Amino acid sequence: MKKTFDYEKSVLRLEEIVQLLENGELSLNQSIKLFEEGTKLSAACYDFLDKAEQKITLISEISDTEE
C-alpha cells in the first residue's frame, strides 16, 4: 500500500471532492459516497505524512539498475 500510494494524486482528488461537495449539485447518495472516499483519502494522506521517512538514493544506484 505505501509503495503505490501517490500523495499528490490523493491530495488533488481530495481537493476535487471538496469542490464537488461545495457545488451541491450531487444527489445525497453521491455526496455520501464522495464524503466516504474523501475521509478515507484524508486519513491515508495523514498516515502517509505521519509515517514518512526520508529515502535517500544515490544516482549511481539508479544508473546501475537502468543502464
Partner 1 sequence: MALTILSISQLNFYVKSVLETNEKLRSVYLKGEISNLTDHQRSGHIYLTLKDEKSAVRAVMFAGSAKYLKFRPENGMTVLVRGRVSLYEATGAYQVYIDDMQPDGIGALNLAFEQLKKKLSAEGLFDEAYKKPLPTLPKKISVITSPTGAAVQDISRILKRRYPIGEIVMCPVLVQGDDAAGQLTDAVEKLNRLQCADVIIIGRGGGSIEDLQAFNDETLARAIFASKIPVISAVGHETDFTICDFVADVRASTPSAGAELATPDLQTMYADLAYFQEKLSERIHSRITFERRRLDELSKANVLRSPLEAVDHMRIRLDVLSRSLMLAYSAKLSEEQKKFAGINAKLDALSPLKILSRGYSITMRGGEAVRSVQSVGMDENIDVILSDGTLKCKVILPVPKKSTETKGTTGNEKDF
DSSP H or E run through 15: helix 7-23
Interacting residue with partner 1 among 1, 4, 22, 25 (CB under 8 A): 22
Distances (CA, A) of 9 to 4, 5, 28, 29, 41: 11, 9, 25, 24, 10
Cell of 67: 543502464
Shortest Å, Cβ 63 to partner 1: 6
Cell of 30: 453521491
- For partner 1, the closer of residues 1 and 56 by Cβ is 56
Q: Does 40 bind partner 1 (CB under 8 A)?
A: no
**Which residue ranges make up the site for partner 1 (CB under 8 A)?**
7-8, 11, 14-15, 17-18, 21-22, 24, 28, 31-32, 35, 38-39, 42, 45-46, 48-49, 52-59, 62-63, 66-67
